[in-house]
Amino acid sequence: WNRIPLSSLPAGTDAADVRLLLVGPKRTGKSSCGNTILGRKAFDTRGGGTSTAASGTAAGRDVTVIDARGWGFSEDSVPREEKIELLRALSLCGPGPHVVLLRAGAEGEDGGREGDED
């Protein structure tokens, strides 16, 4: 993965608030990623609940990180309420996110998937 500095965002991006939306399956480290970006424990890493937002400073820029509630590991296992919750997370980014970060478990990570054991 390449690092892209926040300072490289387009000139029209409001320097006062960069909005990052964290999405991905359950138990893949979205909350931990958000905590790392903000440099503090802003999100509960135990999972569950609803989508939440927290603000702070990263790389000298004010940022708002939205931690969307995770979904199941296949399209068939994503209940309607989880799809609605993802739309709610988008509403926390109004008027929309500058960045969408997809956090997917790396091969060998236990993301709660069944049948992945050797």
Can you name the residues that pair with 61 across neighbouring β-strands? 58
More confident residue, 22 or 91: 22
- Domain-embedded: residue 109: no
Domain, as residue range, for 90: 24-102
Please determine, for residue 113, whether its predicted confidence score (pLDDT) is greater than 50: no
CATH number, domain with residue 59: 3.40.50.300
pLDDT tens for each residue of 10-63: 555 555 588 999 998 888 899 999 999 999 999 999 877 788 999 998 888 899
Element spanning 40, H or E: none
- Domain-embedded: residue 51: yes
Please determine, for residue 101, whether its predicted confidence score (pLDDT) is greater than 80: yes
- Domain-embedded: residue 60: yes
Highest mean pLDDT: which of 13-22, 52-61, 89-98, 102-111? 52-61
DSSP for 67-109 reads: EPPPB-SSGGG--HHHHHHHHHHHHTTTT--SEEEE--PPTT-
Q: What is the pTM assigned to this prediction? A: 0.70
